[in-house]
């Protein structure tokens, strides 16, 4: 169990990035931001009144269906006509196609944050161009900014084995969307989402690639569905929620 990061939090980071890229239309801003805030500030979550304490599931663990239900009903403000926020969201998830790409994803989170005066001065001296004017930058002290900053720091603190476990949990969490993603993109290869296996098949052959997949990931069908989806941060939030329920 990781201290903070889970596949769900990667999904929330991708959704926040869509917002900063001005892909979310004005009419959809409130429901999208409320959805994210319900996860960052769970005491305001609308799912809590329906939470059944007799179950083993946590009210703070989202499956991808929760993202799809929300995002598929909103058309994107830019990009190909007819594409929804769900399509843009999936592109961000499937662009993370290796453990290295996951490292790049977290390294780039700092680009979502507004720079301090000292940082702007330093970038000006280095002739670094400012962000595009249509990009929304997050205040580092805002709920979104604080979440982005902590996520980046927590990832940098992960031991290698924990980073690999997060990557494997993320691939399992994302797997259910492959059919939709393939349909929207004219079909995808068997190992789409894993750059090493996808590019290596031509050199190694199908059978050897299958064996490498088994060595790297094991039998994913036999893995507990919630394995890697819960962090100690989630457990703490659940305990806080239960205390609030007892006090009320």
At 89, the pLDDT band (50, 70, 90 cuts) reads very high
Quote the Cα angle for 117-122-127, to 5°.
120
CA distances in angstroms from 34 to 30, 55, 102, 143, 209, listed in the order given: 6, 25, 26, 12, 43
**Nearest-10 Cα torsion for 158, 161, 163, 164:** 180
Is residue 232 scored above 70 in pLDDT? yes
Residues whose CB is less than 8 angstroms from the CB of residue 227 and which lie 6 or more positions away in sequence, other chains included: 169, 172
| Residue (of 89, 75, 104) closest to 181 by Cα position | 89
Is residue 244 scored above 50 in pLDDT? yes
pTM, rounded to two decimals: 0.81
What 3-state DSSP class applies to 241?
helix
**Percent of the chain at pLDDT exceeding 70:** 74
Q: Of 111 and 45, which is predicted with more confidence?
A: 111
Is residue 137 scored above 80 in pLDDT? yes
At 87, the pLDDT band (50, 70, 90 cuts) reads very high
DSSP string across 85-140: HHHHHHHHHHH--SHHHHHHHHHGGGGGBPPPHHHHHHHHHTTPPPPPTTPPPBPT
Q: What is the pLDDT of residues 5-62, one digit of tens each?
A: 999 999 999 999 999 998 999 999 999 999 999 888 755 444 443 344 444 344 556 7
Is residue 132 scored above 90 in pLDDT? no
CA-CA distance, 235 to 60, in Å (whole number)?
9
pLDDT at residue 121 in the model: 74
Provide the residue ranges of all domains of the chain, joining segments of one domain with +.
7-186+218-247
- Calculate mean pLDDT across residues 220-246: 68
Paired tokens of 210: 């299958």
Q: Of 214 and 169, which is predicted with more confidence?
A: 169
**Percent of the chain at pLDDT exceeding 90:** 40
Is residue 225 scored above 70 in pLDDT? no
pLDDT at residue 52 in the model: 43
- Average pLDDT of every residue of the chain: 80
- Calculate mean pLDDT across residues 204-230: 66
Count Cβ atoms within 10 A of the Cβ of residue 222 and give its class: 0-12 exposed, 13-18 middle, 19 or more buried.
exposed
Q: Of 7 and 191, which is predicted with more confidence?
A: 7
Q: Of 56 and 246, which is predicted with more confidence?
A: 246
CA-CA distance, 96 to 110, in Å (whole number)?
17
- Calculate mean pLDDT across residues 181-197: 72
């Amino acid at each position: 169990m990781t201290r903070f990061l889970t596949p769900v939090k990667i999904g929330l980071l991708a959704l926040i990035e869509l917002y900063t890229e001005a892909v979310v239309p004005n009419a959809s801003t409130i429901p999208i931001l409320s959805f994210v805030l319900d996860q960052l500030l769970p005491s305001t979550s609308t799912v809590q009144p329906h939470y059944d304490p007799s179950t083993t599931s946590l009210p703070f663990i989202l499956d991808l269906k929760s993202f799809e239900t929300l995002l598929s009903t909103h058309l994107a403000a830019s990009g190909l006509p007819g594409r929804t926020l769900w399509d843009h969201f999936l592109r961000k998830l499937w662009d993370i196609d290796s453990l290295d790409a996951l490292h790049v994803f977290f390294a780039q989170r700092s680009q979502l944050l507004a720079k301090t005066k000292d940082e702007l001065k330093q970038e000006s001296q280095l002739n670094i161009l400012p962000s595009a004017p249509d990009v929304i930058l997050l205040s580092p002290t805002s709920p979104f900014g604080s979440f982005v900053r902590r996520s980046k720091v927590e990832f940098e603190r992960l031991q290698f084995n924990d980073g690999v476990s997060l990557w494997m949990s993320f691939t399992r969490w994302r797997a259910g969307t492959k059919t939709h993603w393939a349909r929207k993109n004219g079909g995808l290869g068997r190992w789409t989402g894993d750059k090493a296996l996808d590019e290596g098949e031509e050199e190694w052959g199908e059978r050897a690639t299958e064996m490498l997949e088994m060595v790297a990931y094991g039998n994913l069908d036999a893995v507990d569905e919630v394995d890697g989806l819960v962090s100690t941060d989630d457990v703490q939030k659940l305990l806080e929620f239960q205390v609030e329920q007892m006090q009320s």
